[in-house]
Structure 1
Amino acid sequence: MNDTLAIPTYSRKVKDNRQPTILDHLESSPTKNISELLGEDININELDTLGFNLPYTSEICYANSDFPYDILNFVTQHIKEKLYTYSKIWNPPSSYIFPQINSKMKRLSFQHKWLNQYTWLSYSQLTHSAYCKVCVIFGPRYGGINCQKLGELVLHGFVKYKHAKEKFSSHEKCNCHQNSIKMLTNLMQIAKGMIPAIDTQLSNLKAKGAKNNCKYLQIIIQAIIYLGRQGMPLRGHREKSGKLDYNDTSVNEDNFKELLKSYCHLGGDETKLIFDNVANNAIYISPDIQNEIINICNNLIVEKLIKIVNKSTFFSVLADETTDISNQQQMSLVIRILNLDTIKISEFFLQFIPLNNGTGENIAKQIISFLKNNDIDITKIRGQGYDGAPAMSGKINGVQAYIKKKCPKALYVHCGEYSQNLVISKACGICEIDSLKIVSKIIEFLSCGKRSKVLYHVLKDIQRSKVRKLKKYSPTRFLQRQDSITGFLQALEGIVETLKIISRWNDNDTSNIAQELCSSIYETRFIISIFCMNYIFLKTVNLSRYLQRENINIVSAMNEAKRLLKIFEDAEVNANNIFLPIYERCLSLGEKLKINIEKPRLIIDDMLALESTFDYYKKVIFLPLLKTIITHFKLKFAGHNKIF
């Protein structure tokens, strides 16, 4: 009798007389239902108590029904069955006698003590060899470098018992075995409810990642909205790509990234962790993403405003064209409605529309196209408000003419504040000396560098002066214009003293300009003109404020304009009484500055040569100012009066 162990034969043909593997054994055996194999005393629903919810149709592949709990029978495909089958693997009893095999003239057999020493070890009655039950059930079929097939203890039974301990120890330390142990441990913890199931963990991890991504995007969006509200630029002239390094304070980056750094430090470790865990391909702080978020915010705002506009019965269109800092011509579009939610007149800025052509026809097409693209019914237009430029107000080729062809009920109204500004501009042009230009030059000259510091200290030394800094004069900022002239007159004494100090500097160019400006102030005509213009501004400032309110209507606006016109007409009639306090203020200032308020030298034949200084400047400056304002006021507001 041959003492060598006889290996059972299988239906699969084995090449090269090698030892059969588990795969060979499985392919030669039929499958049986789990209920048939385990009997009526085993209920499949017991698996439900472990949290696996195994379906009744599930089948376990048993290779040999004579040894139903042999290690070879429990290579299943369904992960949910593995833990159950692991607990049913057959272990040889202590009375079991292992067969002996010949190994180089020695008769060796499997030892019971190995099962106690290596708890993962299992013995197969079918092949009379040793297997790692953890790797067989939970391990992969390939591993190591280049994904080679696993051999002994996994796919092949181990029978070289002479080197058993060395083999078992090396197998226990390999990565495949360690990973199989981890899988078994995790499944046991899941079954006992110590940790969530894998699908639950993945779901929770995905939810946590989505939540962190939402927080990350919220911070980015909040930063962009904040900078937009404050009118601050997001980017500078240098752009640094890659993840945000919130600990890098050596470089002052653009406003957007510096604001994100502040969010990180204020938000603490949780916010920093969110920024650290962001994937390199999902940073979302590039200029393209910034612009995309800005466009999304724009679309959301416009969509909300359009809903309010569509609720109203009628609306008016207000538009003005301008050029931005990049020399791109564009038009601002505003809608004016009766807000049915608040029962008040409301104005909504909708959009900046780029213009490639500044003709009236093109601008009108752009307005109509924008309204139609946003589902706004253009037949509801009842009013148009623009400035007096020919491209906007022209009766034939202006914007208002083209829109009126589409919407016959859309009445055109010239902007009331622009109309008043044109009236004042005409009045300023009648003076031989343009006092407002001189004022603008002086303010600009004293607002630069160390000259502004000299002015500040001079005004500070003058106890009665409350002004410390001059406001710039702007011909288009109507309310600021009046504040600029008033502040200039209050600080005039300090301005003269400052110009005298600067005129003594060694810088010839600067000192010459200061001396020239100081000489202009000492002109009597300048003093009289600037005080007369201040009177005009003080009377028109209330109408300017009223015309810029969004909740007024044209009837009340015209009533205010008529009231102001009546004030100027009465001032023309009572010129002596109105001009007298203005003239007295000029005399008072002349005494402080040592300026002689006198009329210029005239030829004898001039009828004004016989007039007093008071009457001369009343007839030369004050009355012409009033007449010009009254005439042009009636002319510019005549179109408004025709509407009602």
Structure 2
Amino acid sequence: MDIAGTEQLSLSARYFDHATNVVREDFLGFTPLARLDVKHISNTIISTLSAWELNLDKMVGQGYDECSMMAGKIGRVQKIIAEKYPKAHFYRCASHRLNLVVNDLNTLPEVRNAIGTIKEGISFFRGSKQRKVLVGNLQKLCETRWSEKHKSIRKFNDKFLEIVEALPILHKEGDRETSQKVWQLYCTLTSPTFILTLKVIAKYSAKLEPVTNILQSVNINLLEVSEHIQGIVKMLLDERENVEAEFEMIMKSAESNYNAL
């Protein structure tokens, strides 16, 4: 949905460029959606691509996220388009599937609250030039750009002490509304529960970030992706076998930050 409240469908094309002998992936444009039902979305995709003078008989693939309306096997968008263009086989977005697994952690209140606090803290410091000077330009946490989300959490963790140290300064110099906001952030960021949760999610965000970047790359190397994923699976299995030692390391890092406050 855009700023005017209009639902927008984003369309991109992946193709082989004979002129350069490389696979390319280009954003084609946005097209508004009057309704969000399966038939209307399917017709909009077909009519828009046809209006852009693309030969849909040469369409050999479709890629969407895991939304059932788009990806469902029976009567969904990918199925309707495949019935009209049989060569357009559907491929699930591997990066989105990985993100769904990670998002399952949000069922834990501590993780969900920590992510919300990180997002709130980043928005606060990005809100004015004065605040940016104190901590630098923090990476915006975007819910839909998963590589950016992992990077944002990692960078927030790297600058954690700078962020906390900047809050008392802003509390003294800010107006009443700013001071109140600063105090709320300070109390949350310095709580043991938040610090420990931050260390956990920052550690694994740093591990997932390279894989997410590869899965979203245009010239994807399946062998390289497979090796990364196998490495992460092995790392998780090893850490589950040695969970006490791994947690002790995370706890020491959290204690180090807490004691430095």
TM over 0.5, shorter chain: yes
Q: Distance in 1 between matches of 2:168 and 2:5?
A: 40
Q: Which has the larger radius of gyration?
A: 1
Pair 1:495–1:380, CA change in 2 (3 A): same
What does 1:150-189 correspond to in 2, within 5 Å? none
1:453 aligns with one of 124, 130, 153: 130
Identity of aligned residues (%): 29
2:95 is equivalent to residue 427 of structure 1: no
Determine if contact 1:358/1:391 at 8 Å carries over to the other structure. Answer: no
What does 1:130-145 correspond to in 2, within 5 Å? none
2:119 is equivalent to residue 440 of structure 1: yes
Determine if contact 1:383/1:411 at 8 Å carries over to the other structure. Answer: yes
Q: Distance in 2 between matches of 1:484 and 1:536?
A: 13
Pair 1:442–1:365, CA change in 2 (3 A): same
Which amino acid counterpart does residue 429 of structure 1 have in structure 2? Answer: T
Q: Distance in 2 between matches of 1:352 and 1:498?
A: 41
Higher relative contact order (CA 8 A, sep 6+): 2
In structure 2, the partner of 1:487 is 155
2:16 aligns with one of 338, 341, 344: 338
Deviations 1:409-465 (A, max 9, x none): 43222222222222222213324362111111122223334xx52663xx4xxxxxx
Q: Distance in 2 between matches of 1:529 and 1:484?
A: 15
Q: CA deviation at 1:506?
A: 7.7
Determine if contact 1:431/1:529 at 8 Å carries over to the other structure. Answer: no
Deviations 1:296-341 (A, max 9, x none): xxxxxxxxxxxxxxxxxxxxxxxxxxx3333333322222223333
Q: CA deviation at 1:399?
A: 0.9
2:249 is equivalent to residue 581 of structure 1: yes
Pair 1:403–1:480, CA change in 2 (3 A): same
In structure 1, the partner of 2:95 is 417
In structure 2, the partner of 1:357 is 35
Deviations 1:88-142 (A, max 9, x none): xxxxxxxxxxxxxxxxxxxxxxxxxxxxxxxxxxxxxxxxxxxxxxxxxxxxxxx
Q: Distance in 2 between matches of 1:502 and 1:495?
A: 11
Q: CA RMSD in A?
A: 2.7
Q: Distance in 2 between matches of 1:473 and 1:351?
A: 24
Q: Distance in 2 between matches of 1:348 and 1:373?
A: 17
Determine if contact 1:386/1:415 at 8 Å carries over to the other structure. Answer: yes
Which amino acid counterpart does residue 36 of structure 2 have in structure 1? Answer: G
Pair 1:555–1:398, CA change in 2 (3 A): farther
What does 1:83-482 correspond to in 2, within 5 Å? 323-373=1-51, 376-432=54-110, 434-449=113-128, 453=130, 456=133, 459=134, 468-482=136-150
Determine if contact 2:110/2:194 at 8 Å carries over to the other structure. Answer: no
Pair 1:540–1:440, CA change in 2 (3 A): same
Q: Distance in 1 between matches of 2:123 and 2:69?
A: 33
Determine if contact 1:499/1:514 at 8 Å carries over to the other structure. Answer: yes
What does 1:45-64 correspond to in 2, within 5 Å? none
Q: CA deviation at 1:499?
A: 2.0
Pair 1:327–1:579, CA change in 2 (3 A): same
Q: Distance in 1 between matches of 2:217 and 2:223?
A: 14
Q: Distance in 2 between matches of 1:409 and 1:448?
A: 48
1:552 aligns with one of 220, 225, 240: 220
Which amino acid counterpart does residue 432 of structure 1 have in structure 2? Answer: E
Q: Distance in 1 between matches of 2:52 and 2:169?
A: 61
In structure 2, the partner of 1:520 is 188
Deviations 1:240-273 (A, max 9, x none): xxxxxxxxxxxxxxxxxxxxxxxxxxxxxxxxxx
Q: CA deviation at 1:570?
A: 2.6
2:180 is equivalent to residue 509 of structure 1: no
2:206 is equivalent to residue 538 of structure 1: yes
Determine if contact 2:151/2:205 at 8 Å carries over to the other structure. Answer: no
- Secondary structure class of the residue paired with 2:5: coil
Which consecutive unaligned segments of at least 5 residues does structure 2 have? Answer: none
Pair 1:491–1:353, CA change in 2 (3 A): closer
Pair 1:506–1:437, CA change in 2 (3 A): closer
Determine if contact 1:345/1:552 at 8 Å carries over to the other structure. Answer: no
Q: Distance in 2 between matches of 1:385 and 1:487?
A: 31
Q: Distance in 2 between matches of 1:586 and 1:349?
A: 42
In structure 2, the partner of 1:591 is 259
Structure with greater helix share of residues? 2
User: Which of 425-434 and 357-366 deviates more?
Assistant: 425-434
Which amino acid counterpart does residue 189 of structure 2 have in structure 1? Answer: I
- Secondary structure class of the residue paired with 2:140: coil
Q: Distance in 1 between matches of 2:52 and 2:258?
A: 62
Q: CA deviation at 1:491?
A: 2.6
Deviations 1:456-491 (A, max 9, x none): 3xx4xxxxxxx5332322222323323322332233
Q: CA deviation at 1:553?
A: 6.0
Which consecutive unaligned segments of at least 5 residues does structure 1 have? Answer: 1-322, 460-466, 594-644
Q: CA deviation at 1:557?
A: 4.3
The TM-score with structure 1 as length reference comes to: 0.37
Determine if contact 1:333/1:352 at 8 Å carries over to the other structure. Answer: yes
Q: Distance in 1 between matches of 2:235 and 2:183?
A: 39
Q: Distance in 2 between matches of 1:425 and 1:539?
A: 15
Q: CA deviation at 1:347?
A: 1.7
Q: Distance in 2 between matches of 1:362 and 1:394?
A: 16
Which amino acid counterpart does residue 147 of structure 2 have in structure 1? Answer: L
Q: Distance in 2 between matches of 1:378 and 1:447?
A: 44
